[in-house]
Amino acid sequence: MSIQVLRHVYGDRHFEMRSDRGELVSFTVDGFEYMHQKGSPGWKNADTEMFPSIGPLKEANYRIKTPKDEAVLDQHGLLREFEYDLVSNTSKSLVYIKDYRAYTELSNSKYPENSPETVQKWPYDFRFLKKFSFSKSSLRIDFEIIAEANMPFMLGYHPAFKLRSASPVVHSKNEEVSLNEILEVGSRAYLIENTNRVVLSDEKKLQLTTEGFNHFMCWTEVNNMLCIEPITFYPYAVKQKDLHLGFEHIPNRNARQFSLELKPITSD
C-alpha cells in the first residue's frame, strides 16, 4: 500500500482522510469511520470511478458507439483498469492523474471469470484528475476530464460507505429510500434522479452534495455497506446497445469539472 494522509481541524472537530493510490480508503471525523473498509463483506474496494461508460455492456457484445470508432469496454469502463499517478501532495490537498492514449489496450480485470474480452480500449486521448481537499467541515473530491472537444463520456463516482444501524435510510428532496428497497433492486442499483444532494442517515448522518452530476444510484448486496454513486447518466434507462445515447461531450474549452462534498451532519 502507498498511503497518503490529509488532516484538518475545523472548530473542535478533527478530520482525516487516507488515500491508497487515489482510492479513498478512510474518512474519519473524531475517529468515526465513514468509509467501507477493504476486506469487509460487500465489495473489494472503497471507491472507484466509472468512466467513460457506466453499467454493463454484455448484451451489446462489449461494444459502444462513438463518433470516432467503436470502443471495446466492460462493466463501468476502463478507467479503473490502470493506476493513478500522484502529482501533488501538500498539507492542503492530494492530486492524482490518469493519462490515457487513444487505442491503448488495457487488460480487462473481468476476464476470464466474468467476461470473454481480454482487453478494453477507447478511441480518444484523455487525462483524468482526482483531487482531495477539505473545505470547512466537508471532504471535497474534485474530478477534471481533459480531452479533445466533443469526446463523448459518462462519469460516475462509486464510493462505499460503512453501515452500522439496523435501518439506514437515504433521503433526497423528494424521497426516502430504505436499505431493503435498495437490496430489492439488486445489481441494477436504485436510481435517485434529478438531485445534487442526498443524506445517508445511519448511526451518524452524512450529506453528499455534487456539482456536474445529474443523479445518484445506490447499490449493495449486504447490510454493512452501501454505495451511493453520483452519476451523469443512469445506464438502465436505455438498452445496452443504445448506451451511447447517455453520453455527454467535452466542450470546446476541452475540459469538464465535477465534484462531490462529504459533510458529516451533527445532531446539535
pLDDT of residue 260: 98
| Average pLDDT of the chain to the nearest whole number | 97
pLDDT of residue 181: 98
Domain that holds residue 31: 3-265
Closest CA to 152 of 59, 83, 69, 248: 248
pLDDT of residue 1: 56
Checking if the pLDDT of 267 tops 80, the result is no
pLDDT of residue 2: 87
Q: Report the percent of the chain where pLDDT is more than 90.
A: 97
- Residue 266 confidence class, pLDDT cut points 50, 70, 90: confident
pLDDT of residue 34: 98
Dump pLDDT digits (tens) for 76-108. 999 999 999 999 999 999 999 999 999 999 999
CA distance 160 to 30: 20
Q: What is the CATH number of the domain that holds 111?
A: 2.70.98.10
Dump pLDDT digits (tens) for 122-145. 999 999 999 999 999 999 999 999
Name the domain count of the chain.
1
Largest CA-CA distance found in the chain, in angstroms, rounded: 55
CA distance 35 to 25: 7
Checking if the pLDDT of 251 tops 80, the result is yes
